[in-house]
Amino acid sequence: MRRVVIDTDAGVDDSIAIVYASRLPDATIELITTVSGNVPVSEVTQNVLYLKKILRLDAPVFSGAEAPRSRKLITAPEVHGKDGVGGYRKSKGISFPAWRTGGAAAAIVMAARKFGKKLTIISLGPMTNIAKAVSLDPAAVKGVGGIIQMGGAFSGYGNTTVFTEFNIFVDPEAASYVLKNGVKVTFVPLDLTETLFLPRNIVASLLVKAGVNWPELVPLLRKALNHYIDYHRHADKLDGCFMHDPITVAAAVHPEWFRFTGSSVSIETKGKHTAGMTVADFRKGAVLGNSRIAVSFDALTFLGDLTGKVFGARIGRSAAGQSCLRRRFTADFRNNLR
């Protein structure tokens, strides 16, 4: 049984990742911590508390960083909605006003001390809380079984600036601090997560089937996913959505589905056009560096597992292979060489 801490800036795909993690028989969620990212931490925490309620989770929830370590917070309401779930929670007036805030980093440290190598930290947002935990007790954080970070873009373009992925872009100083303090991180980057895509028609079919099994959850998923898909259609001309964070959960709990490579990773923090860029050295001598990077995975096995556990209906491998696999654009100038 794998014990996990989920640190999240709970937007749409984060929320699906939490649902997915809660239904994995090989994992136990020991703790959920929240961080500003997709939306401010106050909204993130409300989303997690609502998910905790409807999923009947026992895991404690601690809110964390309201802002990055040394820069102004940048959020993504256009992607996830102002409340992080496509406006669903706001439209229903759902809130938990008596919630006490704070304590995320200290809670992560306590879990690290308690469980050691048996604990995996799954980071689905900016690494602000993780960096604070490292500053509180670096030995405890180094002693966990692994830190899995959804973040980075190593061989293609980013989703925030040309060179950057959102989670690292929001707080590059935090990611840099973690790596510079000797904490080994496994990155699940856009290079991998954007090779799997859920088209709108498949999402709609899954939501219909899920409504039979989980009527309390499906209205949230429907509102959130439709907002998320509308964003991708407008911004990327793609009528569907990516599952960045659920893939990251799978990398933590089912590493056998993935192929990883070692690398030395640095985080750019000062460049005008590159702040937040993840720079990896893939040369042979760097494979024992400070990080691992997920470079490929069994997408169809993952997708069947995800849809079965979150929606109660598996997508057939043939249909998924035709509709959900995607070749991600990377710059290749060889055809233009003379």
Is the pLDDT reported for residue 335 higher than 70?
Answer: no
| CA atoms within 13 A of residue 107's CA, in its CB half-sphere | 22
Does residue 9 have an active-site annotation?
Answer: yes
Which one from 9, 83, 171, 305 is the annotated catalytic residue? 9
Is the pLDDT reported for residue 331 higher than 80?
Answer: no
135/144 Cα distance (integer angstroms): 15
Mean pLDDT value of segment 91-99: 88
Predicted TM-score of the model (pTM): 0.96
Helix/strand/coil for 264? strand
**Percent residues over pLDDT 90 in the chain:** 85
pLDDT 10s digits, 141-171: 999 999 999 999 998 899 999 999 999 999 9
Helix/strand/coil for 134? helix
pLDDT number for residue 99: 73
Closest among 276, 104, 98 to 176, alpha carbons compared = 276
Q: Where are the beta strands (DSSP E) in the chain?
A: 2-8, 27-34, 61-63, 119-123, 146-150, 185-188, 198-199, 240-241, 258-267, 278-281, 291-297
CA distances in angstroms from 273 to 14, 70, 182, 231, 276, listed in the order given: 27, 18, 27, 24, 9
Does residue 244 have an active-site annotation?
Answer: yes
18/10 Cα distance (integer angstroms): 9
- Residue 94, classified by CB atoms within 10 Å of its CB into exposed (0-12), middle (13-18) or buried (19+), is middle
pLDDT 10s digits, 212-271: 888 999 999 999 999 999 999 999 999 999 999 999 999 999 999 999 999 999 999 998
The DSSP secondary-structure symbol of 171 reads -
Lowest mean pLDDT among 37-41, 162-166, 186-190, 278-282: 278-282
Which one from 80, 227, 232, 244 is the annotated catalytic residue? 244
pLDDT 10s digits, 10-30: 999 999 999 999 999 999 999
* Domains of the chain (ranges, CATH numbers): 2-195+243-297 (3.90.245.10), 198-239+299-336 (no CATH)
Is the pLDDT reported for residue 119 higher than 90?
Answer: yes
| Joined tokens for residue 337 | 């060489």
